[in-house]
A = this chain, B = another copy of it.
C-alpha cells in the first residue's frame, strides 16, 4: 500500500484514482476548481466528447461502463452538409459500431461520485497546486484560507495541458518539452432542441460542414440540442481576427453554413458571449521522475480534438498503466516502463489527430475521398482478417496507436494506387479491384 497524491480531478485524474484505490493504495486528489456537482450549469465546460472503444474499455475494466452508457448517444456515422444543403453520409464502422456523444461534466460527475464512495480516496476541491517537487513526490496547495504541503509516496499530474506538476518537470535538466499552437482555434455554438426535446437534425450522427480550410461540427446532447464547434483560423484573411464584428460573423456564418445558421436561435448573442479558444499540442519526455512522479493524459500529451481521442487516450493511459502495475508493483519499474512504452503511442495519436483534421475539414467534402472509403470498407468486409480501416483501428480497437499509424500508412499507399485506376468510379466494386488490393498486400508482406 502506498500513499498517493493526484493533482487534478478531471476525467483522467478521477478515473486514475479508482484504478489505484482498487490496488489498495490510499489516494488524495486535489482539484483547483470548485466541485463540479455544485456548479450552476453555465459555469462548467459545456463541451461534449466522443467516447469510443478505448475509453469504454478503460471504464469497463473498473466496472462503470454500464452506468456511463445510460447517458451516451451513439453516433453511427458522419453526416456531411454541403453549402447547398445536400447531405452525404459515411458510416464510422460496421453495423452497430458507433462512437458515443457524452457530456464532459456528466461523465466527470459519475467518476467523482465513485471516487468519493471509495474509502481509499479523498477529494479536495478549491485546492490549487502552486508547486510540486517531482523528486520527492511532494506538492504545495492553496485554498481560500491556507497553504498546505502534502508529501506522499508518489504524485501523479493529471492537471491537463497547462499542468502545474509538469512545470516542475520543465525545470529539470534533460526534460524535453514542446507546446505548439496550431493556426486554428475554436468557438462553441448551440443548436437548441426542437419542440418537446426533439432533434432538429439527425440525432445519432456526428455532423460535419467541411469547407476546406475550416469546418463546423455538431454532436447531439440528451436534451435534443447539438453542441456545434467552429474550427477556424485565428489570424489571416478569413479568420476569427477578420470576423471582428458580430455583423461580419453573422454574414459569413449564414452564407457558409446556411442550414446550421438557420437552426441557431440567437447567433449574435452566442457569438459575442462564447469565448474563442486556441488549440495546443503538448509533447514531452520523460513522463516520470523515478517512481515518485508521473504525468498522464493531457498533462503529458495534449492533442488536437479532431480524432475524438483526447479523453480516450487519457483513459487508455489509466488502463495501460494498471496493466503494468499488474505485472510489477515496484513504482520505479512501473513508471519507467509506462513512460517508455506509452510515449510512442501518444506521439502516434497526436499525429493522427492532425491528419484527421485535414480529412474532416477538406476530404470529407470530396466525392473521390468518399469513394476511397467505400472501397476500403468493401474490401474490409470481404477480408476482415486482411484489412481493418485505419479509423476502425483507432476507434474500434485497443491495438497500440503506433501500430495503427504504421498500418494506416501502408493502406494509404495501396489506396493511392487503386484510386489512380482509370474508371475507378465504375469499377470500384468489381472483383478485379479486390484482386489488385490483395496483390498489393502480398507484395507488401514479402517486402517486409
Where the two chains meet, the residues of A that have a C-beta atom closer than 8 Å to any C-beta of B are: 170, 173-181, 234, 278
- Docked Cα-Cα span, A139 to B175, in Å, equals 27
Q: Shortest distance in angstroms between A289's beta carbon and chain B's nearest beta carbon? A: 14
11 contacts between A and B (CB under 8 A): A173-B181, A173-B278, A174-B181, A175-B181, A176-B178, A177-B177, A177-B178, A177-B179, A178-B178, A178-B179, A178-B180
- Docked Cα-Cα span, A178 to B278, in Å, equals 18
Contact of A174 among B173, B175, B234 (CB under 8 A): B234
Q: Shortest distance in angstroms between A279's beta carbon and chain B's nearest beta carbon? A: 10
- Docked Cα-Cα span, A278 to B234, in Å, equals 37
List B contacts of A179 (CB < 8 A): 170, 175-178
Apart from A174-B181, A176-B180, 5 more pairs, CB < 8 Å: A170-B179, A174-B234, A176-B178, A176-B179, A176-B181
Q: Shortest distance in angstroms between A186's beta carbon and chain B's nearest beta carbon? A: 13
Q: Shortest distance in angstroms between A280's beta carbon and chain B's nearest beta carbon? A: 8
List B contacts of A178 (CB < 8 A): 176-180
List B contacts of A180 (CB < 8 A): 176, 178
Check if B174 sits within 8 Å of A278, measured CB to CB. Answer: yes
- Docked Cα-Cα span, A395 to B92, in Å, equals 54
Q: Shortest distance in angstroms between A197's beta carbon and chain B's nearest beta carbon? A: 37
List B contacts of A278 (CB < 8 A): 173-174
- Docked Cα-Cα span, A188 to B173, in Å, equals 18
- Docked Cα-Cα span, A170 to B171, in Å, equals 13
- Docked Cα-Cα span, A239 to B179, in Å, equals 30
- Docked Cα-Cα span, A177 to B234, in Å, equals 18
- Docked Cα-Cα span, A170 to B177, in Å, equals 12
- Docked Cα-Cα span, A170 to B181, in Å, equals 11
Top 3 A-B residue pairs of the complex, sorted by shortest distance between their CB atoms: A178-B178, A176-B180, A174-B181
- Docked Cα-Cα span, A234 to B176, in Å, equals 14
- Docked Cα-Cα span, A139 to B178, in Å, equals 25
- Docked Cα-Cα span, A176 to B181, in Å, equals 5
- Docked Cα-Cα span, A278 to B172, in Å, equals 11
Residue ID in chain B nearest A173 by CB atoms = B278
List B contacts of A176 (CB < 8 A): 178-181
- Docked Cα-Cα span, A179 to B283, in Å, equals 10
- Docked Cα-Cα span, A178 to B234, in Å, equals 21
List B contacts of A234 (CB < 8 A): 174
Q: Shortest distance in angstroms between A299's beta carbon and chain B's nearest beta carbon? A: 16
List B contacts of A173 (CB < 8 A): 181, 278
Residue ID in chain B nearest A174 by CB atoms = B181
Q: Shortest distance in angstroms between A43's beta carbon and chain B's nearest beta carbon? A: 21
List B contacts of A170 (CB < 8 A): 179
